[in-house]
Structures are given as C-alpha cells and as structure tokens.
Amino acid sequence: MSGDHDTDQGTDHGADPSGGGQTLWHGRFEGGPAAELMAYTESLSFDRRLWRDDITGSRAHVRGLARAAIITDAERDQVLLALDVVEQEMETGLFVFLPADEDIHTAVERRVTELAGPAGAKLHTGRSRNDQSATDVRLWTKRELMVVARRVLDLQRVLLRRAEEHEGVYLPGYTHLQRAQPVLLAHHLLAHGWALGRGIDRILDALERIDVSPLGAGALAGSSLPLDVDGNAADLGFARRFENSLDAVGSRDHVAEALFVLTLIAVDLSRIGEEIVLWTTDEFGFAKLDDAYATGSSMLPQKKNPDIAELARGKAGRLIGNLAGFLATMKGLPLSYNRDYQEDKEPLFDTADQVRLALGAVTGMLATITFVPERMQAAADAETTAATDLAEWLVQRGMPFREAHAVVGALVREALQGERSLRSLVAEHASLGADAAELVAPGVSVRRRVTPGGAGPVPVADQFVRFRVELDRLAEALEAPGA
C-alpha cells in the first residue's frame, strides 16, 4: 500500500464543497474545512441515532432559557415548534442532512435555525456541544440500560420456568469440566439466574452515576448567563445536576461503567453459550435445540448448529474489546473536554446493541430448548460421582475425612481398572458394606446434597422460593420511579 488516501474515498482535497451548509464554528475561519477533515472528524454517521435525545435536550434547554428570561416566551415557542418539525422530519426520514452537518447537534440546530430564523439562532445560547453531547449520551444510556435490564429479567424468568418444568431432573455437576457430583438441573439453571440478577443490580447501581445532568456546564466552565441548571436537570428527568463543570464535560467514567456492566452480562451469556454448545453435541447429548433457534450447514445436510450459543461466546470477545478500547481512549486525557471523547459512542452503541440482541436470542434459545433427562441422569449416575458421599458416610461413622478420602480413592482406582464395579467393592469393604453401597445406586447421591444453597431437592425447593422473591425484588426495582 502506498499509504495514500486515493483508494475509495476520492481525492477531493481542500475546501468543503459549496452548497453543503456551514459548520457551527465557521465565523472564526477564513476558508471552509478540508474535505479530509470533515470525513475524519464527523460523528454524524453514528451519533445521528441520538436525534431523539438531542431534541429532548434542546427542548429542556430552550425552556430553561425562557425561565431565566434569556429569551422571550415567544422565542421559546418558536424554537419548540421548530423542534417539533425536526422531530417529525427525523421520524419520517424526511430530514435532509447537509455535508457540513458534522454531528447530530449541528444538524438539529442548523435545521431549527432554518425553520425559526432569529429565534432559532438563540437555541445554542449558553450551551456547548460539549455539555450537549454529554447530555444526549446520558439520556440514551439511561434508557438503553433499562431496556437491557428488563431483557435480563425476561431471561431469568425463562430460566426459572425451565427449572420448574424439570424438577427432579439431575445431571453431573462439573469442576474442571470433569464430572464431580450430581446436581439438579434446576440448580444449574438457577445458578445462571442468580448471576444474571447481579447484572441487573450492577445496571441499577451504575445508573446512579449516569443519572446526572451535565447540561449547563457549557464548553467547560459554566456561563455568564443566568442558566437554570437545576431546572434543566429536573426537566430532563435526571436525578441531579453536575457538581463541577470541568468534570461534567471532561469525564466519561460513566460510559466506561456502562460498557463494563453490559460486557459482564455478555460474558455471562457467553458462559451459558459455551454450555449449550457442549450440551447439544452428540457426545454430551444433554439438550436439543429447537429448529427455530438452530442453523444448518451449507454443505453438510445432517448438521444442526448452535450458532446463537457460539456467537454469545464469540461476540463477548468483541465487547471486551470495546470496553478495553474505550478505557485506553480515556487514559491520560487532561481536563476537560477532548475530541477523543467523541469515541465514546461507537463502542457504547455497539455493545448495547449486541447485548440486547444476545439477550433476545439466548432467551428464545433457552425457552425452546429440549433437555434430555435420560442422558443427563445416565452421565450423573456414573458410580464415581458418588465417591464423596462414600467418604462422608465414613466420616459420619467417625473416620477422619482425610482417611476416608484415601479409602474411597483406593476403591475408585480399583474400580477404574474395569473388572469390578465400585458398588460391589464398596459392598465388600470392611468399613463400608451393603448400606454404603446403596449410595452408589442411581439417583441417590443428588438427594444427599441437603445443605442450604446446595444442589439437592431439599435446598433447591427453598431456593425456588428465594429466587421468586429475588425476581419480584428486581422487577420492582425496575419499575421504581426514576429507574
């Protein structure tokens, strides 16, 4: 590669073509901006999706200007009317963007000024795109996180329902992906349910810091005009206003935090995905995907592939990249606003979109998947998964655990040589015997997990009750005013 830029974007160096409108900052400059500058620095291509929030923010700002008597009520109404038109044009796709519309803020203000004339030209009074874009992103993030939180709750409800449908079904629990002890399928499904609930709590916690209005911080230092900063915050439904204007426009930790809580949900989904990939293999055979949630192969007619599960796993990598990348963008930035911060939007939008899509797909996949209890239970009934029960049986009869562990370990080693079953070896063992041998019988071991929070039917019955209470708590938190 020559390193030249005459590949596909054209070679039109120099001033912006005429008829493209003006930037918001043209007054200070002798000529127009270079085409390369506009192509490289524009954010309209991705921040146009903030249009709703930009209009919302502008409405609040212009009402605030009128409350502070910086503009007249008549001017306010003219601008509000123009904003209504812009909203309509955006909604219907009739809005015409111009080449000089660097970003959504420019486009909206430019159009308002075309529509409302001198009153429109007052819209940006006491405001900078720095506090404006920060406001838009906070409004957008608040709404989006709530959508994600509600979808997480939907997934938790599906996990609960599937757990309820399979009461009594058990499968091997794994450590190191080696069969360890049998656990109820309900216990396994609810394990993911509890983890996801913490994701909702993290969203709600992050929202406390996101729910702050930066409007009125101006470019960086506030204004000489008597802006109604608190009134604007209330008008926009923010919990409070910023405390420090430099911080308001010069920090993005709330974006990093939103990325983190979303990414952690994606990581949780990737772990579910990996299990579904395993469970739907012929080798495991623990589950069968519904046709609507599986894909086929273009070449291999017999294939039924778990693509949702795989992409839940794979896309998590990209979202981790979005988070890590944005942290790197923030690193070392001096106060206050830097154009670097424009880089907050693409990772945020992408991550939020992908988590939303993943939740929809994974929820559908789990709602329709067929579990295969016979396969699960056959795997869990492998004699060796009862080894710990045998050791604990000896402990209950006075043997120190370390000794019991060694006794059972030796029997397992012998059984694995393949000539005798563990059960018969146990039945004949001097310290164990026929009663202990019953522990190795199918379905016995899982019933012996009796401690609180454990994997057997007794604690899981209690866990069901607690999980339903937990879902009620989360549902209520998501309905709370301000949430």
Contact set with ligand ARG (CB under 6 A): 43, 47, 103, 129-130, 133, 339, 341-342
Nearer to ligand ARG, 249 or 437 (CB): 249
Please tell me the chain's helix, strand, coil percentages from 3-state DSSP, rounded to the nearest 5.
Answer: 65, 5, 30
**Cα–Cα distance, 29 to 158 (Å, whole number):** 59
For the four alpha carbons of 123, 209, 51 and 478, in that order, the dihedral sign comes to negative
**Nearest approach, Cβ of residue 25 and ligand ARG (Å):** 8
From the candidates 18, 176, 224, 298, give the one annotated as an active-site residue: 176
**Nearest approach, Cβ of residue 339 and ligand ARG (Å):** 6
Query: Is position 187 annotated as part of the catalytic site?
Result: no
**Residue 21 CB coordination number (10 Å):** 18
**Nearest approach, Cβ of residue 366 and ligand ARG (Å):** 38
**Nearest approach, Cβ of residue 135 and ligand ARG (Å):** 11
**Nearest approach, Cβ of residue 79 and ligand ARG (Å):** 20
**Cα–Cα distance, 82 to 395 (Å, whole number):** 80
Name the H helices within 178-252. 185-210, 229-235, 245-250
Nearer to ligand ARG, 75 or 101 (CB): 101
- The amino acid that residue 10 corresponds to is G
What is the token pair recorded at 445? Answer: 């071991």
Half-sphere exposure of 166 (CA within 13 A, CB side): 28
Nearer to ligand ARG, 108 or 471 (CB): 108
Nearer to ligand ARG, 218 or 457 (CB): 218
**Cα–Cα distance, 86 to 332 (Å, whole number):** 38
From the candidates 5, 13, 45, 297, give the one annotated as an active-site residue: 297
Q: What values do phi and psi take at 180, rounded to 5?
A: -120, -70
Nearer to ligand ARG, 58 or 342 (CB): 342
Q: What values do phi and psi take at 339, rounded to 5?
A: -60, -20
Q: What's the distance, CA 356 to chain centroid?
A: 7
Query: Is position 297 annotated as part of the catalytic site?
Result: yes
Q: Are 227 and 151 in contact (CB under 8 A)?
A: no
**Nearest approach, Cβ of residue 146 and ligand ARG (Å):** 23
Which residue is associated with the tokens 């106060």? 335
Nearer to ligand ARG, 102 or 268 (CB): 102
Greatest extent of the chain over all pairs of C-alpha atoms, in Å: 99
**Cα–Cα distance, 126 to 220 (Å, whole number):** 11
Catalytic residues: 176, 297
